[in-house]
Amino acid sequence: MDRQSTDVVIVGAGASGLAFAWRLASLQPEISIKVIERGDFVDQRNAPSLNNDWEIALLRRFHGNPNIRRGDADYPVEDSDTPIKPSFFNAVGGSTIRWGAHFPRFRPSDFSVKSQDGVARDWPISYQDLENYMDINDEKMGVSGLAGDPGNPCRAERPHPPLGLCEGSSKLARAANRLGWHWWPADAAIISTDRPGGGRQACNNCGPCGMGCPRHARASADIAYLEDVLALGVNVETRSVVSHIQISGGKAHSIDIIDKNGIKKNIVCRELILAGNALSTNVLLQSSEGWNNSKLGKGLMLHPTAIVTGIFAEELHSYTGPFATSLVSQEFYETHPERDFVRGFQLQALRSQGPLSTALGGYGKSVSWGRGHAKIFEQSFAKSMSLTVTCEDLPEDINRIEINSEKRDRFDMPIAKMSYRLSENTKKMIGFGIDRASDWLAKAGAHKINVTKLSEQAGFHLMGTASMGEAGDGCVTGDDGRVHGLENVTIIDASVFVTASPVNPTSTLQALALRAADLMHHRLAQC
């Protein structure tokens, strides 16, 4: 076996891994850093977004579920015991290669739900601990948005102005005003003005952008961070699989990998950073001998999502452009004493779907072929707007990630098993949210409402299973992501989340990674 050594190994070149690599290499250029990524580099300028078959790509090679996509870099997940299926992407850039670039921050209240509402646990850190890192990351990612939202803390102007509202979103905005509901233009990791010298052009609504952006307007971790990471001397090794962590004496001494040529290697390191997702982190830690924590894998949190679609009489011309970054309402974000559930949800506007998705019935629906199909299509295509009811999930031990050692992938690694069920609290929240979304669309003028009560493919935010906190409280990691009982292993993916909030975790996730890099820099500088 080929043996190598480096100071720091980062497993995963996604949102958190590349942000961490950039920050640590900037602060401490004398150390060696190697990033191991299962996937490959993606040329987004040749992504299928502007091709006529872009919807076919969404159903196949760019599908969110690896069990459906089955690319060379994918690994199977046993998901028969969950109504919400896993969704992630293996590549340099991680799941930000295939995302909507919605970029909200957690609120301060999201870090203290135990103190406020008597559920779950408080985070060991606060919003204020992350605020500066969120600002740094906003600039790197290129966030567009509008300052002054009264529903969120005061913060600096966004690097770019808001993207603006499409015709359908404008209808929703006016309807929210009539309902007396709070709404705001959504923050997006999509630039609305050119960035000279950076190879990024402003969004021009040229096409659906969930699979890459030929203008690089829509950020992904590779667009935002990769060039700087490579310039700082970080080694990014792609198409390589970490198969095992060698642990003894409360320390990870090395990792075993299988490179793109099938050659087995052993890499000795001072510090090991896990930056994949909750599934990959659990497979590696649960299958490595020499360390154990009974709480690892427990407390999986998702964002259970319903989708409510309104059909309008007139064309809205809204199936191109950023599909999920126009406006949001956080009217029902916090716990309210008159509701029969705790915590809350976000309502987020989605543009209409393309012709193929419309013909197939839209979100979670099916339409019979034959007589009447053309009429249904004509009544729906380019005439719809949807609202997602994105619910905050609370951690429960019954929701978990385990490994099935009896089933192994093509690299002889155990298969991750994802087990999840909706809590009674979440069921009540979704039902209430569907009613509110239906009210909103009706007020906007929709003459027909279609409801997908639970989106099967909404497992795109895998959070928890290695949450932060004190070791004596049954937590897996400290407030810096360092694993209790493993002095040199740090987790910087969303496994460390204590609670989930009802909003996209990427901004908070990357801020945690930047903070963890700062803290590691201080430790290494003292060695």
Strand order across the beta sheet in which 77-81 lies: 77-81, 414-419, 400-408
Encode pLDDT of 144-188 as tens digits: 999 999 989 998 899 999 998 989 999 999 999 999 999 999 999
**DSSP β-bridge partners for residue 419:** 81, 400
Per the CB < 8 A criterion, the answer to whether 355 and 378 are in contact is no
pLDDT at residue 440 greater than cutoff 70: yes
Tell me which H or E stretch contains 254.
strand 251-258
Encode pLDDT of 105-135 as tens digits: 999 999 999 999 999 999 999 999 999 999 9
This prediction's pTM: 0.97
pLDDT at residue 289 greater than cutoff 80: yes
Q: Is 299 left (phi over 0), alpha (psi -120 to 50) or beta?
A: left
Q: Which residues contact 263 (CB under 8 A, 6 or more apart)?
A: 2
Q: What pLDDT does residue 365 have? A: 67
Distance CA 34, CA 411 (A): 21
Q: How confident is the model at residue 364 (pLDDT cuts 50, 70, 90)?
A: low
Encode pLDDT of 466-493 as tens digits: 999 998 788 999 999 999 999 999 999 9
> Shortest CA distance to 121 belongs to which of 467, 472, 518, 512?
467
pLDDT at residue 301 greater than cutoff 70: yes
CATH number, domain 2-48+85-525? 3.50.50.60
* Domain boundary assignment for the chain: 2-48+85-525
Per the CB < 8 A criterion, the answer to whether 265 and 257 are in contact is yes
Task: Please compute the mean of the pLDDT values over residues 448-472 and round it to a whole number.
Answer: 94
Q: Positive or negative CA dihedral for 35, 36, 41, 44?
A: negative
Q: What residue has token string 């290695």?
A: 466
